[in-house]
Amino acid sequence: MNRLLKFFVLGLLVASCSKPESGVEIYQGEALGTTYQIKYFSDKDLNFQSSLDSIFEVINASMSTYITKSDISRINRGETGVEVDMHFKKVFEASEKIYQESNGYFDPTVGTLVNAYGFGPEDKLKEIDSTRLDSLRKLVGFEKVRLTQSNTIEKEHPGIYLDFNAIAKGYTIDVIADHLSQNGVDNFLIELGGELRAKGKNIENDASWIVGIDDPGQQAGNRTLIAKIKLENVGMATSGNYRKYRVDSVSGQQYVHTINPSTGKATRSNMLSATVIAENCMLADGYATAFMALGFERSSEMLKEVQGISVYFIYSDENGENKTYVSPGTENKLVD
């Protein structure tokens, strides 16, 4: 079984800044348990490293389940009266939106099950039988959690465990993008753990930013791209289990395991990779995770109801062959 929720941990901050030529700045390092790279163009002599570190620190203090004193950890322990910040509030509200649109397949309260299966910061259960699973399911359901007008969290049961790992990384990118824009930077590309946010263009090439989508069938140590996409003033996120899908011995169909919030069980999904382009990276991040859990058929139905996004899906058909679906909004962004 593979965890589809993205890890959001306090990583060792190892950062550097380079200036390969006049007007070009590149920041790269490690944060939130992954790597980041920021490339931007500016005539001003700007230094964003301290502000970047502050952004990572503030968001970790708000939403990292790996920091015991963070707001979300205190809430998960059952503390009441914890007043959350604006970052938590924005992520909560976006999560609620995607939860409703996906009929519960995107659910930040699934953290209880994630921990039980051994993919979270808490100790996993030695055995998950039907009785234990029924007990855990009572703690799952985003409708059982409420954000009050005083910015505190009310839970129907103190044992409910919130986990925003599937959307918080995208939100962090958006915060960085807003910070760059507020300081007069109009051309940049931000990458954090594979998620992206672009603005303006690549001045070096006098062209749009070009990014790639990994081939889920690639071999270890040999990265190959299945498509290249032109990004202009949007966010993009990809959720997938590259090289980690399973093959049914009878049908030959490829699938990945996801945790179904409604049943608590690890179910099969024939979606091997879901790339989403949206107005910001937070929404792209959340929708990409939802589509992985839904599978191709249910994701196709959900797409009919969701506005403002485009997708690039890689899925396994009934014969076990990899297929792609490219929505019109993405098709016109593809680069030969």
Q: Please state, in angstroms and rounded to a whole number, the distance separating the CA atoms of residues 322 and 41.
A: 39
**Closest by Cα among 281, 287, 334 to 100:** 287
**Other C-beta atoms within 10 Å of 304: how many?**
6
Structure token pair of residue 39: 């490339």
Token pair 């790279």 in the structure block, residue? 37
Half-sphere exposure of 59 (CA within 13 A, CB side): 28
Contact call for residues 203 and 22 (beta carbons, < 8 A): no
Q: Please state, in angstroms and rounded to a whole number, the distance separating the CA atoms of residues 149 and 126.
A: 40
Q: Please state, in angstroms and rounded to a whole number, the distance separating the CA atoms of residues 104 and 36.
A: 30
166 appears as a binding residue in the annotation: yes
Contact call for residues 82 and 74 (beta carbons, < 8 A): yes
Question: Which residue ranges make up the annotated binding site?
Answer: 166, 285, 289
Question: Which residue ranges make up the annotated binding site for Mg(2+)?
Answer: 166, 285, 289
